[in-house]
Amino acid sequence: MTLSTPSVPASTPALRQAAPRREYWFGLPALRTSAKSARDTVRDRLRAWQLPGDTCCDAVLLVSELTTNAVLHTASSHVLCGLTLTGDERRLRIELHDEGATPVRPSERHVGPDEESGRGLLLVRQLADSWGSARSTRAEGKVVWAELTAHP
């Protein structure tokens, strides 16, 4: 099920300043193919919100990594993804809720150049302004979140 909050038309400057934050939530089964669905859904939503291309590209990569980690490293049957754009449209928060109980931390292990995996959280750390994990208030597990500045 997809939930979305309506946006305030940008034609009235006074209304735009008072605009509530925008949110968009969608759920996916915890399958390897869900990373593509998550990327496509996030790309479409952020284009509809008219976010800058660089922000969209970074957000798509972040949601792909977070979804892949949840699918591969938890025993989840489904995941819940949320996008929140602040009312001033300067901050984008991406949340990925899963059924895993273990908090997420970057690996201390060095990944060799020939290894095919193990760089996901390194990418998250490099792309996001901030990120972390906590107990989920929306699922029976944890949430991993990342925030980006929405550059004009």
pLDDT in tens, 97-151: 999 887 655 545 554 555 445 456 778 888 999 999 889 988 889 999 999 998 6
- pLDDT of the residue at 152: 63
Dihedral angle at the C-alpha atoms of 115, 101, 58, 15, nearest 10 degrees? 180
Q: Are strands 78-85 and 3-4 parallel, antiparallel or unpaired?
A: unpaired
- pLDDT of the residue at 102: 72
Q: Are strands 91-98 and 22-29 parallel, antiparallel or unpaired?
A: unpaired
Mean pLDDT of 69-95: 92
Mean pLDDT score of the chain, rounded to an integer? 81
- pLDDT of the residue at 77: 95
* pLDDT over threshold 60, residue 2: no
Mean pLDDT of 73-81: 93
Which residue did the predictor score with more confidence, 7 or 42? 42
Which of 15-24, 27-36, 119-128 is predicted least confidently?
15-24
Residue 73's pLDDT band (cuts 50, 70, 90): confident
The domains of the chain, with CATH numbers, are 20-101+118-149 (3.30.565.10)
CA 105 distance to own-chain centroid: 17
